[in-house]
Amino acid sequence: MDLVEIPKVGKTWRIQIGPDGKLAAKEVSAAAAGHKLVKVVGKHTIRGGKVQVALHDGRTLLADNAVKVGSTLQVSVPAFKINKALPLESGVRCLITSGKHAGEMATLEKIIERVGSMDSEASLKSGNESFVTVTKYLFVVDNEFA
């Protein structure tokens, strides 16, 4: 979900998982170039009672306690301030980042919690096809995401 900008050309591209499951560059508008999507992969309480979230790209950020692991944050670039949080819940659009369905967009129907060391799974629907995948493969996106 990184952004690549070439000022001389005046264009910006988002690097994302393409329909074939490989990295692809997608041209984005100037408005979309002002923010980036990042997935929350960890959450900790630090000194002073503040909540720190770990993001999929290796960064950390202070956030409020309402942000949950698995959610996606829309952050402004380059200030890296949180614009909005996109929770991992039923009815949201997701980009699948790994597995057989990598690169596909699907709607989350429900999360299936597993006991023990098994990863939780998600039931998704893409067009007429329904399938199940591991929740850690899901990246929540907003409706503006192409």
On the question of pLDDT at 64 being above 80, the answer is yes
pLDDT value of position 1: 74
Residues 65-80 pLDDT 10s: 899 999 999 999 888 8
Q: How is the beta sheet containing 82-86 ordered, strand by strand?
A: 60-63, 50-55, 35-46, 72-76, 82-86
Residues 94-140 pLDDT 10s: 999 998 998 899 999 999 998 888 899 999 999 899 999 999 999 99
pLDDT value of position 58: 93
Q: Is residue 146 part of a domain?
A: no
**26 lies in the same domain as 41:** no
Q: Is residue 26 part of a domain?
A: yes
Three-state DSSP class for residue 60: strand
**80 lies in the same domain as 41:** yes
**15 lies in the same domain as 41:** no
On the question of pLDDT at 81 being above 70, the answer is yes
Give the mean pLDDT of 81-93.
93
- Name the pTM for this structure: 0.85
pLDDT value of position 146: 62
**97 lies in the same domain as 126:** yes
On the question of pLDDT at 145 being above 80, the answer is no
**Number of domain units in the chain:** 3
Cα separations (Å) of 110 from 35, 70, 91, 123, 141?
Answer: 28, 14, 8, 5, 16
Q: Which residue has the higher pLDDT, 18 or 87?
A: 87
Residues 15-53 pLDDT 10s: 988 888 888 898 988 888 888 899 999 999 999 999 999
On the question of pLDDT at 63 being above 80, the answer is yes
Cα separations (Å) of 64 from 2, 20, 50, 89?
Answer: 24, 36, 8, 18
**80 lies in the same domain as 107:** no
**81 lies in the same domain as 41:** yes
Task: Print the domain residue range for 8.
Answer: 3-32
